[in-house]
Chain A
């Protein structure tokens, strides 16, 4: 029996024949940076996930966890890809405790399905996360990549929402941390540690999160500007005021165009809460915008509002349809410098002759760059990314390449500039995954 056959039968023993894929044509679809796995397994229980990892440890194989694959293009080139482990069959809602405003769900369920369930019945609740890939993103993938969206401005990100999680450690141990309580300082905060680890310290199989009641009312205000400096002053005013928008996004011309809006610089404010507060903020921000030089202001409500934000969230998906594989970059920096950075990025793109769209979470210091052309046709892309990175680092931040073809990954570090905490991260990876079973080489510093 060949190694592949041995592998196949061992995995079939664990998850059942129907849940193992070894057909070469089918396997291609699961390649990571061109590395095709030897098998794809879909365990149906946490115990099965554990058994797969125990097997992988014993046989010195590597495992790549996967949801729907929305973020598979991110991360460094893996050292080795043996088994892709799909979480899609672990897709139950384990416990929806309405009175406690908490939810426990398995990793393979999509956020979209979760929101639907939460919104139904009674007053309705929601999980305040709005990352890209509105329909496809699974909970496990979102948490493992710490994905977030515009409404992080008010609601925070995964680390502000999660109450606990269940993980299968790299050695196969089934462990659980946190729970259903809002506060928990028992032991180390392993929940926070696991968020955003790209599956390198364990496979998340279930999360418990707090929920919020659906807001009474909502509206979105779009303010169009021609002058970037005016945008900066205006956003500063709002961010330092008592007002509480749920999102403050700045969308540049090229991006606005793709959203069907004509504007040099489009500011989008999402307002959610009690009716009186929403009305007041719409009026106040609208007035203020006009005073600060907005050339146009409009209000979106209802379905129009919903669709706008979905298109914002799924921007990269739309880009990917035209230019695959897409090149998406995420810069982080101190919040007050968003117009400086955007302005510089626009100039750099122009100078490099690269067609790029930019979207900024203006109150959080996060900027997304979308290259609007085919990567292989784009000369000087690696150099361009390097320049953008240096700018972000100048503002105490960094740049992460969320998606790009393998050729680019060979030239640059997708995780940006290394920092002094690398030594600790390396030690953590070494202690928690000594065999290097999970996603080796894909995380910061190549761990």
Chain B
């Protein structure tokens, strides 16, 4: 069906104030936060489940592809309409439908911005645990689609551990409810398989999330080391000693320098590694644990430990970490964020490999990582206008993925496969593994219309 007719029909179905189709609008929705651009045929901005269902049914009846999209901050090309079709943008489906403190649940529409949810909950003394770095712009639907992580997932798990149910629009427009406010609803864990499915199985139009009371106490420390090894050894030693802090985040020297130049956070520019350790929970025993951790740091030659005295100082420590990616962006115009994950104990060895890969391809690489769970984020710096450099960046990214797979890890810890990592799937999955996943896809989306060309290499071929 030609673009004009699609727009015409959609106008009829959901109203023309919810449909965009001009050249300008198509240009605006051809990208996400990855390097790929691909134009949708048109864009819809539904406000209700019914809108979404109508659009999907229409698409199904006419063989048109659909790609769901939240804020489009996806790092792997997951939000891009690789093969055209209708971009279903959920940003206007941003209502809080049901705050249920009594049952410790909240029901929301997928377009709600994660930080907005958390600020709302904070007023009631409650928390939604997952804290992806993009939370002030990204939507909950996007978070669920990617199974987003964040620094606090070491202790509290990732998004899928906090999604207990919701509403799903199936490939033909049928709307079903899965999971719910109650735990252990009989059946398959659809909530589990939908989290991280990157929009390839269906569109979630409602989410039932777990919320918990705010912790009593928090203690945040920033520890500065002269070698990365000292920092990683500290991380291992803390865990070996039976302590699981809420976060264990590390940054390397290149990153520290960039952050210091960008924000004047008072960081020593010659430090090799910076480790942010946060404890939370009951205040009893927290001082003792904190002291114990500091002793472990000292045993591993820590240069300096800064303990946040209040919320303002804590915010300052976190600002240095949250601003890290962007600060690094001042060194060169673009960066590619890798997302390999290895068993925690293999981190130092993997980092060495990453450094060597950077040297091999003559690319600066700054490292920020979730030291507690082994999820690295090597930031490969480049200028996308330099085609040769761009080519080397892709090669380096592939080698980093391979290195992580070789270390017994995986190619994506929290950003998803999207388009970016399709070619890495074979590093960690056999053909049979992927066949099993393809069967899941076939069950949900027999005609491969939901976000085709993402997540599974097979789908790329049949798109």
A residues adjacent to B (C-beta < 8 A) = 97-102, 123, 146, 148, 156, 159-160, 167, 169, 173-193, 195-197, 201-202, 212-214, 216, 236, 239-244, 273-277, 279-281, 330, 332-336, 364-366, 395-398, 400, 415-416, 419-425, 427-428, 430-432, 444
* CB atoms of A365 and B182 under 8 A apart: yes
Docked CA distance A274–B214 (Å): 20
Counting from the closest, the 6 A-B pairs by CB-CB distance are: A192-B192, A213-B242, A276-B285, A274-B285, A182-B373, A276-B284
Q: Which residues from B are CB-within-8-Å of A160? A: 157, 161
Query: Would you list 24 pairs from A and B whose C-beta atoms are within 8 A, ordered by A residue?
Result: A102-B343, A146-B184, A159-B189, A176-B430, A181-B341, A181-B410, A183-B373, A183-B375, A184-B410, A187-B429, A187-B433, A188-B201, A192-B195, A196-B188, A197-B188, A201-B188, A276-B284, A277-B285, A334-B100, A334-B181, A336-B102, A365-B103, A421-B176, A422-B187
A-B contact count (CB 8 A): 266
* CB atoms of B174 and A175 under 8 A apart: no
Docked CA distance A101–B239 (Å): 8
Contact check: which of B147, B181, B183, B432 meets A185 at CB < 8 Å? B147
Q: Which of A179, A181, A242 has the most CB of B within 10 A?
A: A181
Q: Which residues from B are CB-within-8-Å of A366? A: 183-184
Q: Which residues from A are CB-within-8-Å of B456? A: 187
Docked CA distance A276–B281 (Å): 12
* CB atoms of A424 and B170 under 8 A apart: yes
Docked CA distance A396–B180 (Å): 8
Q: Which residues from A are CB-within-8-Å of B177? A: 419-421
Q: Which residues from A are CB-within-8-Å of B174? A: 423
Residue in A closest to B439 when the chains form the complex, CB atoms: A431
Contact check: which of B160, B216, B240, B429 meets A189 at CB < 8 Å? B160
Interface of chain B residues 207 through 231 with chain A (CB within 8 A):
213-216
Given the interface pairs A181-B410, A183-B149, the reply to whether A193 lies near B187 with Cβ below 8 Å is no
Stretch at the interface among B35-43, B80-88, B318-326, B413-421: B413-421
Contact check: which of A174, A179, A183, A195 meets B414 at CB < 8 Å? A183
Stretch at the interface among B7-15, B44-52, B354-362, B440-448: B440-448
B410 to chain A, nearest CB (A): 5
Q: Which residues from B are CB-within-8-Å of A177? A: 433
Contact of B266 with A by CB under 8 A: no
A132 to chain B, nearest CB (A): 14
Docked CA distance A239–B105 (Å): 13
Q: Which residues from B are CB-within-8-Å of A275? A: 285
Contact of B110 with A by CB under 8 A: no
Contact of B122 with A by CB under 8 A: no
Contact check: which of B180, B192, B374 meets A182 at CB < 8 Å? B374
* CB atoms of A432 and B443 under 8 A apart: yes
Residue in A closest to B167 when the chains form the complex, CB atoms: A420
Beyond A192-B189, A336-B102, 7 extra complex contacts between A and B, CB < 8 Å: A123-B242, A188-B196, A190-B437, A242-B213, A333-B182, A334-B103, A423-B170
* CB atoms of A188 and B437 under 8 A apart: yes
Given the interface pairs A334-B182, A419-B185, the reply to whether A97 lies near B443 with Cβ below 8 Å is no
* CB atoms of A396 and B181 under 8 A apart: yes
Given the interface pairs A173-B432, A189-B192, A216-B242, the reply to whether A274 lies near B187 with Cβ below 8 Å is no
* CB atoms of A186 and B192 under 8 A apart: no
Docked CA distance A185–B160 (Å): 10
Residue in B closest to A445 when the chains form the complex, CB atoms: B187
Contact check: which of B193, B413, B421 meets A188 at CB < 8 Å? B193
Docked CA distance A274–B289 (Å): 9
Residue in A closest to B284 when the chains form the complex, CB atoms: A276
Given the interface pairs A184-B412, A424-B170, the reply to whether A280 lies near B433 with Cβ below 8 Å is no
* CB atoms of A97 and B345 under 8 A apart: yes
* CB atoms of B193 and A181 under 8 A apart: no
Interface of chain B residues 71 through 93 with chain A (CB within 8 A):
none
Residue in A closest to B208 when the chains form the complex, CB atoms: A396
A120 to chain B, nearest CB (A): 15
Docked CA distance A202–B153 (Å): 29
Contact of B63 with A by CB under 8 A: no
* CB atoms of B188 and A425 under 8 A apart: yes
* CB atoms of A243 and B196 under 8 A apart: no
B183 to chain A, nearest CB (A): 6
Q: Which residues from B are CB-within-8-Å of A398? A: 182, 185-186
B435 to chain A, nearest CB (A): 7
* CB atoms of B185 and A332 under 8 A apart: yes
